[in-house]
Structure 1
Amino acid sequence: MELPYDAVLCDFDGVIRHYDPGGLTDLERSCGLAEGGTMAIAMAPELLGPVTRGEITTGQWAASIVAELERRLGSAERAAALGRAFAEARVSLDEEVLGLLRLAQARVPVVLVTNATLQLEEDLRDLGLEHAFDEVVNSARVGAVKPERRIYEIAAERAGASAARCLFVDDRAENVEAARAAGMAGVLYRTVADLRGALAPLLDGDASPVP
């Protein structure tokens, strides 16, 4: 029976890797910053865009976050403390997600597609994931970021599959919609059940793909 997909393309942060704000949240409160404020600053397009395109280093991105925190808080000391807490936030891996991707990988290529920094390869090594994927499409290396169409085209090329034969998984709706616009099957990830359901046609041999 023909498989429903020829490749699985999967996001990293929010699907596989998860951040624990932990002490950062408490520090934000003590500094008079709204909970999640540091992350909101770090993810602002004007700060995040250059680092995810590989135009600046992770260190330069961190410095820009601290500078914006200092501007808002009026305290270099508090800004530096928040910057350190953000950089040192603990991460965890969803082993159930990784297990499902390994099962899929026994049948088709699994490609990591992520808006990341030039530090991604080091992060993957530190997490023991340097050989976990058939290909890694890092926005900072290819110069295109989700939801731009080019990054989906690159991912399909790396997978050796047509867009119409790719399953794309991401936790951001705009990225999933862009994948669908590029001709892929798209799954918006919220819980591991979403991934399990999306992969069921592939793992069970059911030829009914996700729309």
Structure 2
Amino acid sequence: MTISGQVFDAVLSDLDGVIRFYDMAVLEQLEAESGLPRGSTAEIAFAPATDLPLMRGEITKEQWIDSIARGLADRVPWERGRALGTTLAETKFRADDAVVGLLRQVRAAGLPVLLVTNATPWLADDLALLGLTGPSGVFDAVISSADLGVTKPGRRIYEVAAERAGADPGRCLFVDDRQENVAAAEALGMTGLLYREPADLRAVLAPLL
């Protein structure tokens, strides 16, 4: 298929911010009760020093929670910090039905769809909760940073994704909500889509769907 003059034979999609979205209400309530500004826990949890070891599969969920508690230790007691970290780790999430529907249409049209994500070691459990695995699964393959030991925007994760798709990088469409990840894919010759809403994906897939 031709997309904006580019030819592609596979669709590679990010997870968080494209397919999966979180309900932060419980965490925000706990932060307010703790006298913390909204987003304080995530600021610590997703800082590179805290987050990257998890995304590379180097630490467990409990170790990640402990690192969040350490990062909050100057603002809240240790047990409260662990409670905040645990709440974040167990935050409820949902899949965007519109995006999932579009990806299912891509597969029905005969193109492989791969998930390419900076993920926790428990990604498989999360995908099952989202209903994206098993007989009704959406992905032909899952490329997880926690399994590979390399995170986006590292070049290797994109190369592996193209290899698993059986497609030349120049024939892959890569969808992500972070500019640096899209730029890295484009540097390999992929067609990049900086995702903001389902209409973005629907528009780029229009010639196919």
TM-score w.r.t. the length of structure 1 is 0.91
Letter matched to residue 96 of structure 1: A
Range moving further from structure 2, 192-201 or 169-178: 192-201
Q: Name the counterpart of 1:207.
A: none
Per-residue deviation, 1:149: 0.8
Separation in 2 of the partners of 1:132 and 1:163?
A: 21
The number of equivalent residue pairs is 202
Cα deviation, residue 59, structure 1: 2.2
State the distance in 2 between where 1:171 and 1:121 align.
21
Displaced runs of 4 or more, over 3 A: 1-4
1:22 aligns with 2:19: no
Q: Does 2:52 match 1:49?
A: yes
Q: 2:181 aligns with which of 175, 181, 200?
A: 175
Structure 2: distance between partners of 1:2 and 1:201: 7
Answer yes or no: is the 8 Å Cα contact 1:5–1:202 preserved in 2: no
Q: CA deviation at 1:77?
A: 3.2
1:141 to 147, 152, 159: 147
- Residue 98 of structure 1 corresponds to 100
- 1:59 is aligned with what amino acid? E
Give, in whole Å, the separation in 2 of the partners of 1:2 and 1:169: 16
Shift of residue 2, structure 1, vs aligned partner: 7.3
Select which of 43, 60, 65 maps to 1:62.
65
Q: Percent identity?
A: 55
Question: Which residues in structure 2 correspond to 1:149-168 (within 5 Å)?
Answer: 149-168=155-174
TM-align CA RMSD: 1.5
Shift of 1:84: 2.7
Code of the residue aligned with 1:49 in structure 2: it is: L
Please list the CA deviations of residues 46-65 of structure 1 after superposition, one character each: whole Å capped at 9, or x if unmatched: 01111111111222112211
